[in-house]
Amino acid sequence: MSPAKTARKPRQKQEKTLVQDVIEALEAGKPVRRDLDGGRLHIDRPLPFLCLHVGEPDTHVVAREVAAANASYLVTPRIEDAVELIAPIAAALRKKFGTFVLLDVDELQRDRLLSDDAPFLQPFEVMLSATRQPAARRAMEAFETAVEAFEARFRTPHVELCAAEDDPCARPELLNLKLPLLTLRFAPIYRVTGSDATYPDLRERLVDNFLDAGLRAFAAFLEADGFPKPATYRAFGRKAFIDAVERADRGMDDVASSFDFLLAVTPINANAAWQEFKANHYDRPPRFLYRPLPLLVEGQKRRLYSISLDRLEDPVLHQIYREKQQELDLQLTLIGEREKARFVEFGRALYGPVEPSLRKAAAEVLDGTGNAKRMPALADDDEVVDCFYVERKARSMMMHYHQHYDGFDAAIELRDDVPAGLLVSGRRLLISRRTRMMRHRVDALLSHEVGVHLLTYFNGSAQGLRVFRTGLSGYEGMQEGLAVFAEFLAGGFTPERLRLLAARVVGCDLMLAGASFVESFRTLTQDYDFDAETAFGLLLRVFRGGGLAKDAIYLRGLLSLLSHLKGGGALDPFWMGKISAGHFSVMEELGARGLLKAPILRPLCLETDRGRARLERARAGLTPLTMLEA
């Protein structure tokens, strides 16, 4: 027996074992993930389709990534190995579902439509074919429609359709299987001509768009073949987090947990600064002191960018973590620039400017509440409560949530180093010992801090990925909008509170325009009739760290939420974790794919007759001013 034949027998035995293991797993409804020689088979749950890419790992990068982004895929360097696996897999899945379709994805050798002397970017080739089955033809048409709707930021696709037997790109080995087959080939427009470099943004767009088109095609095929239609075609996407996602999630959370951004930029001498400002007759800016930084910013940035996002395989999750990485980078930069001139510009990059429409909305609120009673100075009477009263009420509310979900394990800390009021940091509710407030505002404020900020932290913790408790990029605006709305549902939303939110927008706008602390103080007290201590507390937040435009997000988030509700939008996805308005559709998709759980807890203010009635009023259409009348 020759050495070659001796080496071949163990391989045949190994392949037979692999096929048997795969089929047994599929018949039992279990996931399949097998590393092959230069490839991988991944089926996160039995599905009536498979996406295939044949090629070496370092070539045709986007085609391989498109295939690997699917919930059911096979990538392998050799077509012979693919056929040996596909035939029994297709038979097992057809037996289970009554139908099956294969999508073969690859790239053309070159970008034939691109020429150096063209005055604009030409279309790019997309070749698509299907076998003769009516359902396969329907899938091809759905794929074509999706591809032609690609966002034309760079180059638009030019789609050529044909029958599989007329397609020079269709693999004879696959046609011989007599399966419903789609064959996709596209020009490698993500590669820089004449070099090995790529256009990263264009590469990601291609993966996202071809994945989406493929899911639409699978859905169209299955519907045409009598398969039960899901709520959304995206439900055919992944329903399992792979190890690479969990590693990236842990790494990102470790960096996010290494610092508390708001505490790092919030003064610890609020009371002393107020006394000094008052003693100087409001003519000199206060001096703010900050806690020492417990981290080396450059070290945390190295940790942050050592987190690999290249192997997440799911474009939606890749986008979520890339955005979060960029947000954490900005927050670390801000901490490093604390009390420096550039701080304000990095803050503008993180929270955005005060857009004219927001400034206008704030002005309307201030005009509309001009006859409201001036925000009351706190006095020692029976309507004013201290930090200990707030602590007792907070413990009572937390106990209620804990009884419904023992994972709600929040802690309370009374602190001397934070300004008057409440602040949530992770699972902790921080209450300043200087806190004194009107009794009727306590439930509303706790609905804000505990019923939204802590609730979404623990609901997010239950999702399996920590990023949903840490917060998706840009989540703070919608979080604060939800929190303010919770005050409304709880019955504690007052003209004074709304007026304060609008004044925060004005304060941020003044600061970003270059006004000093003293100039901004005079505007708030003289032009808008705020009392001195309230104006100081507002501007302390605006000018902290060197100038932070965060406080404009409260009114912006509330306006966004009211628009969302009026448009018929649901609230439940927002309770799943800490997300932004821009991630609403992402949460819906991940939920439809089974990657996210329904929220375990809902805010108490939504469980009362008053809360439900006010929510219905908001769905009918409310503005911030009409909320005061509801």
Average pLDDT over residues 478-507: 96
pLDDT at residue 2, as a whole number: 42
Confirm whether 5 is domain-assigned.
no
Average pLDDT over residues 63-92: 96
Indicate whether 165 and 271 sit together in one domain.
no
Indicate whether 55 and 97 sit together in one domain.
yes
Confirm whether 303 is domain-assigned.
no
pLDDT band at 117 (very low <50, low <70, confident <90, very high): low
Q: Are strands 72-76 and 124-130 parallel, antiparallel or unpaired?
A: unpaired
pLDDT at residue 370, as a whole number: 82
Indicate whether 208 and 280 sit together in one domain.
no
CA dist., res. 572 & res. 588, Å (int): 10
Average pLDDT over residues 205-222: 95
pLDDT at residue 311, as a whole number: 84
The angle formed by the CA atoms of residues 377, 382 and 388, to the nearest 5 degrees, is: 90
CA dist., res. 324 & res. 470, Å (int): 10
CA dist., res. 377 & res. 379, Å (int): 6
pLDDT at residue 210, as a whole number: 95
Answer whether residue 256 shows pLDDT above 50.
yes
Those residues whose C-beta lies under 8 Å from the C-beta of residue 259, and which sit 6 or more positions away, are 293, 294, 295, 300, 331, 332, 335
Confirm whether 609 is domain-assigned.
yes
**Cα–Cα distances in Å, from 455 out to 199, 402, 573?**
41, 10, 13
What confidence tens digit (pLDDT) does each residue in 582-620 have? Answer: 898 888 888 888 889 999 999 999 999 999 999 999 999
**Based on the structure, what is the number of domains in the chain?**
2
**Following CA atoms 138, 140, 142, 147 in sequence, which dihedral angle do they give, to the nearest 10 degrees?**
-170
pLDDT at residue 12, as a whole number: 47
pLDDT at residue 16, as a whole number: 55
pLDDT at residue 153, as a whole number: 61
Mean confidence (pLDDT) of the chain: 91
- Which of 7-11, 12-16, 317-321, 467-471 is least confident? 7-11
What confidence tens digit (pLDDT) does each residue in 517-531 have? Answer: 999 999 999 999 999
Indicate whether 214 and 274 sit together in one domain.
no
Indicate whether 432 and 551 sit together in one domain.
yes
CATH assignment at residue 215: 3.40.630
Indicate whether 222 and 356 sit together in one domain.
no
Identity at 42, one-letter amino acid code = H
CA dist., res. 147 & res. 210, Å (int): 7
Comparison of pLDDT for 112 and 83, the residue scoring more: 83
- Which of 17-21, 39-43, 511-515, 521-525 is least confident? 17-21
β-pair partners for 438: 384
What confidence tens digit (pLDDT) does each residue in 357-385 have? Answer: 999 999 999 999 987 644 444 444 458 99
Confirm whether 59 is domain-assigned.
yes
* Long-range contacts of the stretch 377-384 (C-beta < 8 A, 24+): 377/531, 377/533, 378/436, 378/437, 383/438, 383/439, 383/440, 384/436, 384/437, 384/438, 384/439
Average pLDDT over residues 242-270: 94
CA dist., res. 583 & res. 463, Å (int): 15
Indicate whether 544 and 500 sit together in one domain.
yes
- Show the domain range for 201: 13-239
Average pLDDT over residues 310-316: 87
Confirm whether 465 is domain-assigned.
yes
pLDDT band at 267 (very low <50, low <70, confident <90, very high): very high
Indicate whether 201 and 348 sit together in one domain.
no
Confirm whether 169 is domain-assigned.
yes
Would you mind telling me the total number of residues written for the chain in this entry? 630
Indicate whether 438 and 364 sit together in one domain.
yes
Confirm whether 251 is domain-assigned.
no
Answer whether residue 76 shows pLDDT above 60.
yes
What confidence tens digit (pLDDT) does each residue in 170-195 have? Answer: 999 999 999 999 999 999 989 888 78
pLDDT at residue 58, as a whole number: 82
What confidence tens digit (pLDDT) does each residue in 292-312 have? Answer: 998 999 999 999 999 999 888
3-class state of residue 429 by DSSP: strand
Indicate whether 231 and 273 sit together in one domain.
no
Indicate whether 271 and 206 sit together in one domain.
no
Confirm whether 245 is domain-assigned.
no
Indicate whether 169 and 272 sit together in one domain.
no
Q: Which of 249, 261, 424, 266 is nearest to 327 (CA)?
A: 261
